[in-house]
Structure 1
Amino acid sequence: MVDVKYTPAPSEPSPSDPPPSYTTASAQPTPSTISASLPSRGPPIPRPPLPLELPALSMLRGKRVVLASASPRRKQLLAQIGLTQLETIPSPLPEDLPHTLAPFEYVLQTATRKAQAVYAQEINNEAKGEPALVLAADTVVVSASGMILEKPRSEREHVAMLRRGSGGWHKVFTAVAVMRPLESLREPGYAMETIVEETAVKFDQAAVTDDLITAYVKTREGADKAGGYGIQGIGSILIEKIDGSFDNVVGLPLRATLQLIEKVVTHDEEEEDEAAAGVYDDEEDD
């Protein structure tokens, strides 16, 4: 395992305001022409970058893209690649799969069920029309002993959860499921791609004392997060290093998710039909 020193990411500006065009920016008055008449207001607020010009993302603009999750972290991460007009529709299914499943299988099944439930609910939405894309995810933290840790249900459980992690390394598993309807009537009527990402996280054993854990729990930052901490917030003080994707620990491996979106959106139905026809012809010849 390669040790990667963790450095907290800087806070990102809101993606709601587009950056100015080059022509607009060049037409603005220079500081020398306005400094005499306007009071100093500090440095300018940084603008977000221009959106990624990728074919798959361009095909989704102006269409229904549904995030089957209430997680604000996942919504913020997807906004970074340009998916800012998301509908958030959490899955109605209970997350009650047995913890006897392997963590990889647990998150994969949970994310897949979430996506399928919201897809089935929205595919015949007469008011809004069918979604162009449904995306779901599930994240769990797994202790060094192999125990699956989800969101803490009480302050006492929260403290105990962080103490389990304070002994050293633990793992974060996130599964992502992406679906879109097919234009053909071929079963099952949709294209789906899934992935499971794994990241190892190490708490700082010397620094993470009982007093620090108690103080962190009192902030309530980790109360709604798998494993009981937020690596992108105050919870970064608990972390010594990570091995793997930082975004995965936040709740959505962004690079892998973009690859899934591209694969599903550019899914070639004609190639599948030709392949299926070839198999059918071979069976007839036999």
Structure 2
Amino acid sequence: MADKNTPLEPPPSYDDAASPSASKPAATSAPKGALPGRPMMRGPLPLDLPALNMIRGKRVILASASPRRRQLLAQIGLTDLEIIPCTLPEDQDYSLGPFAYVLATAENKARHIYKCEIDSPKGEPALVIAADTVISTHMGQILEKPRSEREHVETLKMLRDQNGGWHKVYTAVVCMAPLESAVDPGYAMETHVEETSVKFDQSITDELIVSYVRTREGADKAGGYGIQGVGSILVEKIDGTFDNVVGLPLRSTLMLIEKVVVEPQQMETVDRAL
């Protein structure tokens, strides 16, 4: 039986919680210069790495609508991204387990977008990045985005109450880039699955969970919470990388980019020299 803190009915249009007017950021005016007597602040210079330099100014596609992944990639200098979300259904069999499930989903996204864009009038993409994130209970049950407010509340309660509050976050990243040679299949593809353990604070109350759910911050997120936002109040500790829980393990993603962009060219250069 649901307790008095659990909403009995889902709200209308849970998948589209924010109205168009509510989703628009408030207008702000950026300062044109430094304040009197103070030097102008500027951000860090971009990373000067061969892989990033080789794709700068070329088509780099992120096969995801996630603003969090886009923000993370901007941190390594990938700011001029084409956002082309994959529209294929994410219908892998849960019996695969979270590791295989999330990897198969990300691979499908990457291959689909690459195939759709390879003959684009814009030219073939220099790099396609796809990712998928799921949360898993300690028993291997895959938790994706909540489908209603009631399910959202029950999911967060379960994460708090089971296994001492511990659960796992899996993110699969897939990078694809075309090869200069005609060697089949004509592209390089590298994959990585990162795992992070997260512990919910078991002292958080049902009232706090319901209050968090009604902020709608976690409505579009796997497992129903965003660790980078207000959802951090639910989390006591993590074991692993923070950005993996956000939705993209940045260090591992950069390593994949290097593997598909730099290493194939190095190998082709060696082959031509032989």
Which residues of structure 1 form unaligned runs of 5+?
1-24, 32-42, 279-286
Match status 1:111 vs 2:102 = no
1:227 to 209, 223, 228: 223
Rounded Cα–Cα distance in structure 2 between residues aligned with 1:187 and 1:273: 18
- The question of 1:188 aligning with 2:185 is answered yes
TM-score, normalisation: structure 2: 0.82
Residue matched to 1:140 = 134
Q: Which runs of 5+ in 2 are unaligned?
A: 1-32
Partner of 1:211: 207
> Is contact 2:176-2:190 (8 Å) kept?
yes
Structure 1 residues 30, 234: CA separation in 2 closer, same or farther (over 3 Å shift)? closer
- How far, CA to CA, are the matches of 2:46 and 2:102 in structure 1? 30
What is the CA–CA distance in structure 2 between the aligned matches of 1:181 and 1:242, rounded to whole Å?
37
- Distance in 2, matches of 1:169 and 1:45, equals 44
Who is 1:153 aligned against? Answer: 147
Q: 1:45 deviation in Å? A: 7.5
Measured in 2, the distance between the counterparts of 1:99 and 1:121 equals: 27
- Residue 76 of structure 1: aligned partner: 71
Specify the code of the residue in structure 2 equivalent to 1:196. Answer: V
* Distance in 2 of aligned mates of 1:135 and 1:242: 26
Q: Does the CA contact (< 8 Å) of 2:212 and 2:231 recur in 1?
A: yes
Instruction: Give CA-to-partner distance per residue, 1:107-155, whole Å, 9 cap, x none.
Output: 11000000000000000002x1110000000000001232100011111
Q: CA RMSD in A?
A: 2.1
Question: How many residue pairs get matched?
Answer: 237
1:200 alignment partner, one of 197, 202, 214: 197
Aligned to 1:267: 263
TM-score normalised to the size of structure 1?
A: 0.79
- Measured against aligned partners, the alpha-carbon deviations of 1:17-69 in whole angstroms (never above 9, x if no partner) come to xxxxxxxx9xx8972xxxxxxxxxxx877532111011110111100000000
Shift in CA distance, 263/153, structure 1 to aligned 2, threshold 3 Å? same
Sort the Cα spacing of 1:221 and 1:100 in 2 relative to 1 into closer, same or farther, 3 A: same
